[in-house]
Amino acid sequence: MQTQDLPGSRIRRTVNDLVMAEMFLVQATIESATAIGEGIEELGKQIADRNETGQTSWESLSQVLQRISDEALEPYTTRYKYFKDMIGSDS
């Protein structure tokens, strides 16, 4: 009887892990999209607010782009770590 329960529990755990991974992915995607949207808004403001010479500083634009990419990536790395820790603690 125990041999029949073992595959069922593995399947159940695998399905549970898959559902959790998908939930983490959705959360990370929402946070990432928010960070990208806010970053694009800030980028637009910087382009519109030109300095006294009428030119936009490429350094400041580069820094904004780097920050956008960092903030867009962070939710995925954090959620991946949470998921890895969760999987590790279940074993």
Angle at CA 62, nearest 5°, toward 56 and 65? 115
pLDDT of the residue at 1: 44
pLDDT of the residue at 17: 93
pLDDT of the residue at 26: 96
- Summarised one tens digit per residue, pLDDT across range 2-12 is 555 667 888 99
- Summarised one tens digit per residue, pLDDT across range 15-64 is 999 999 999 999 999 999 999 999 999 988 887 877 656 666 777 888 88
Q: Structure tokens of 7?
A: 């595959």
pLDDT of the residue at 46: 81
